[in-house]
A and B are shown apart, each in its own frame.
Chain A
């Protein structure tokens, strides 16, 4: 009987030990401080034209004008979560033409919110690059948020007869964007 009681006592000492646990202080409210801010990159518009097309349109005129509905910027998610953005422009021009390229950001009523203009020199030896920031250190972020369409216009400021010595003379406009979102 004594042995049994001893074992029983041992059992009841061990059982609470198994249950007994401690934990350091936890603060689950920290989750509210979590910040998720991905940087999303995407190409936007690519425009390429050969010199013959520019010549065919004639001198001192637009050889390309296009308004592209672009609601990606002003979708609710973007409007609510966009922190800042950068638009990248790259232009190569191996034609013999001096060109002007403009990119207009239009709102839903076709009002011009912003314009990016490029004076493109003929036979550019290197790629022209421009980065335009929007947000705290750049242009007003609302330009992007309210953009509903983008109008791209390219015009020839030279004559319509000159021909580049380049075997495949082209003008190329590349555009891309990187947007910083606040998901949480």
Chain B
């Protein structure tokens, strides 16, 4: 027998929390979420055919529909009531795009308990926290009712990067109850920016001498790598800028940009044939941003009550430029500076955990006739059970917090042909996130599709979160 996995095409699309795909072990790509997931393949190969772009977009605050519904309400009023008055500094807008360009895997010839996988994918991840106080300052200013209000400059928090990820993972069955895995990652950065851990405040109050005193204390920084050349190309505004950008991005994506290292770890543990506990930690890594770096800082403190003249002390000061000197003094106390210092940026670490209970014996297992001689425990194999229920936990390190998501799921297998997984997820974006995943194994053709937050599809513009994943494979487990 030979096991041939000919991947006609894999469009592998996912957001940051891929709760439907996680531990969906019938799908080879579940290895990317847990390098220690149980595997049954002898080898697999993936080549993208769907000019793939996947988008996961989330907003914990206002939705597109909240603002742009054609409801006849004044737009400025909607912004004020639904954004300025409603959103907090903990709300964020996030988006993750991942495109898998290559995914290959094979089982060790001499070590059939080992499954090796490697490949490359492109990832773009951006999260912007709602800068509440800065937005209020822009909308309302420091005057009027805001005299005495302290605006928190630390509300500015954002982070984004695009990187291609080259990875190699080993999945090893240590025993009938424990499978572990690890994946090494080499990141090739296209761009990166972050403005995190800002502190400071701006306040205007009744002055000690003059009517108002305005005070600012700031320790703010925006770090960028690879951004400035992009703007340079765009600023040139020539017809060939698209080609130039493509060439620049391609070069950086293939190890011509800033580099970083990382790893994934994971395991699957079966304390009982019907019980599976899994866990994984992904993207434990960093980027060393040393090329095309441009950082912007605003550090210092200043306070002003305007031009002040005290007589008789200033009676001989006939300088006409008192106002400009005041401005200069403020700029000196609160310098805006630029530098090109190398900086390290951490990858957004993600953690998954799950517990799954299988029940309902019967049906044909996905591990049946796999010819791989692994992960098979006599007649009582993993896929022998038609049903699974369980819970999953997802955590991701964001600049301001660790975001959590809790998922309950039910999975139903119809032999090797069809498997459905329904999920209900609670996170900061939605409390009504019902997802559905489908894996279809029609002969050698494997197709899967997963949709998230399905209830929001009634009005997608009103959704706080949406993601979609799908893929097509041609798979053969047997040697024939």
Q: Which residues of A contact B (CB under 8 A)?
A: 3-4, 7-8, 10-11, 14-15, 17-28, 30-31, 33-50, 52-53, 56, 63-64, 66-72, 88, 90, 149, 152, 172, 174-176, 178-181, 183
Contacts and interface: CB of A to CB of B under 8 A. Distances in A.
Nearest to B414: A7
Contacts of A64: 309, 311, 315
Given A24-B69, A28-B68, A43 B438 contact: no
15 contacts: A3-B414, A7-B440, A18-B438, A18-B450, A19-B451, A23-B462, A25-B70, A35-B76, A37-B139, A41-B143, A43-B210, A46-B306, A46-B307, A71-B323, A174-B209
Interface residues of B, number: 64
A176 B211 contact: yes
Contacts of A43: 207, 210-214, 304-306
Nearest to B437: A18
A14 B209 CA distance: 72
A4 B363 CA distance: 13
Interface string B387-426: 0000000000000000000000000001001101000000
Interface of B: 64-65, 67-70, 74-76, 79, 137-144, 146-147, 204, 207, 209-214, 304-312, 315, 318, 320-324, 414, 417-418, 420, 436, 438, 440, 442, 447, 449-451, 454, 457-462, 468
A172 B208 CA distance: 12
Contact of B138 (A21, A33, A38): A38
A48 B387 CA distance: 84
A74 B332 CA distance: 23
A157 B378 CA distance: 111
B143 A40 contact: yes
A11 B436 CA distance: 12
Contacts of A50: 311-312
Contact of A38 (B139, B147, B210, B451): B139
Contacts of B460: 21-23
A34 B75 contact: yes
Given A15-B449, A33-B75, A47 B211 contact: no
B74 A7 contact: no
A119 to B, nearest CB: 20
Contacts of A88: 211
B311 A63 contact: yes
A25 B462 CA distance: 11
A48 B309 contact: yes
B209 A48 contact: yes
A23 B209 contact: no
B211 A8 contact: no
Given A15-B438, A20-B457, A41-B143, A33 B462 contact: no
Contact of A175 (B74, B211, B468): B211
B210 A46 contact: yes
Contact of B140 (A18, A39, A44, A49): A39
B69 A33 contact: no
A174 B68 contact: no
Nearest to B207: A43
Closest 8 CB pairs of A and B: A38-B141, A41-B143, A43-B306, A18-B451, A49-B311, A176-B211, A21-B457, A39-B143
